[in-house]
Amino acid sequence: MKIYKQLENKYAALSSDAHTHLKGLLHAKELNYWEYIQLDTLLTLQKPRSIYGDEEIFIIYHQNTELTFKLMLRELKQIWDNQENELDDLLTRVSRLVRYTNMLINTFDIMKHGMDMEQYQLFRNTLAPASGLQSIQYRLIELHCTSYSNLVSGELEEFKIMSEEERLDNLYWKKAGLKSNGDTTLTMAQFELKYRDELIETLRKVKGKTLEDKIFLMQNIPGDLREMLKEFDYLYNVAWPLVHLDTAQHYLQFKSKASKSTGDSNWVEYLHPKNQKRIFFPTLWSEKEKSQWGQIHQ
C-alpha cells in the first residue's frame, strides 16, 4: 500500500485528517541531535556542592549508574508486564540485564582510581547525609527480580500474614538505617519520607510476579536461561557489591580503621555480599554454593 494511503488509514482510524498532519510536517522544524537527546538539559544536571573539581566525576558516574539502573528496570518491568513470557523474550531480556551489570562492574574503576583522594576526603563532607543507600532504583530492581522471602532474614511463615507496610519494615536493608541505640539514621528517615508509598505500592504490584516467580512457573528451565540467570545473580549480588565495597574501603578505610560513612551505616559489615546473602534465584544454586555466597573473590 502506498505510504499516503497508509497515513490516511491511520488518521481515519483516529477520526483525524492525514492532510492536516502532513501540512504540519511541512512547517515543522527539523530535528537535531542536541534537542533529541536533550543535551543542554543533561549537561546542566551536574551541580557540585564543593569547590573541588573531582566532585563532578563522582556526580557524573552516579548519574551514569542510575541511567543504567533505569535501563535494567525497563527490562524488568517488561518481564513483569508480559504475563506469558516467551522463552526467547526472557532470554533476550535477561541477557540485557547481564550486559548492563557487566558494564557497571567493568567501569567501577572510574570511582576507585579516577578521583583525587585528597579532594574526595574534602568534598565528601559536604554530602552527608546523602548516600547510595537512598537509591530507589537499586531497591526497585531487587523487588522486581525476586520474591520478598529472599530479601528478608527470618521465618517465612510470619511474613505470609503481614501487610505490605509491615513487609517493608522487615526488608534486609532496613538494618543499614539503624544506629547502635536503635534510632533511625537521618539518611534512612529521609529515604522513607520520600519513597515509602512507592515501595509499598511496588511490593503490592510485584507479589507473585517477580522474575523469580516467572521461572518457578516454568516446567523445565532450559539450560541457557538457567546459566544466564545464575550469571546475572552472581554479577548483581556478588561482583558489583564487591567492586563497590572495595572502592568504599579504598576511600574510607585506613590502617584497618573504617571512617564514618555519609549514610552513617555499619558499612564494612553491611555491604559485604557474604553478610547480605542477597540471592535472587536460590533454587538455581546448590547448598554449597549458597553457603559460600560472596566469598569466592576473597
- Which positions touch ligand HEM (CB under 6 A)? 61-62, 65, 111, 131-133, 135, 138, 173, 176, 244, 247-248, 251-252, 261-265, 267, 271
Q: Whose Cβ is closer to ligand HEM: residue 85's or residue 101's?
A: 101
**Residue 185 C-beta: closest distance to ligand HEM, Å:** 8
Q: Whose Cβ is closer to ligand HEM: residue 101's or residue 262's?
A: 262
Query: Hey, what amino acid is at 73?
Result: L
**Residue 60 C-beta: closest distance to ligand HEM, Å:** 10
Q: Whose Cβ is closer to ligand HEM: residue 85's or residue 262's?
A: 262
**Residue 62 C-beta: closest distance to ligand HEM, Å:** 5
Distance CA 59, CA 93 (A): 28
Distance CA 268, CA 252 (A): 10
Q: Whose Cβ is closer to ligand HEM: residue 176's or residue 203's?
A: 176
Residue 237 CB burial class (10 angstroms; 0-12, 13-18, ≥19) = buried
Q: Whose Cβ is closer to ligand HEM: residue 263's or residue 294's?
A: 263
The CB-based long-range contact list for 109-117 (8 Å cut-off, 24+ gap) reads 110/57, 110/61, 111/58, 111/61, 111/247, 112/243, 112/246, 112/247, 112/250, 114/57, 114/61, 115/54, 115/57, 115/58, 116/52, 116/54, 117/251
**Residue 199 C-beta: closest distance to ligand HEM, Å:** 13
**Residue 64 C-beta: closest distance to ligand HEM, Å:** 8
CA distance to 3, 15, 29, 148, per residue, from 19 (Å): 13, 12, 18, 53
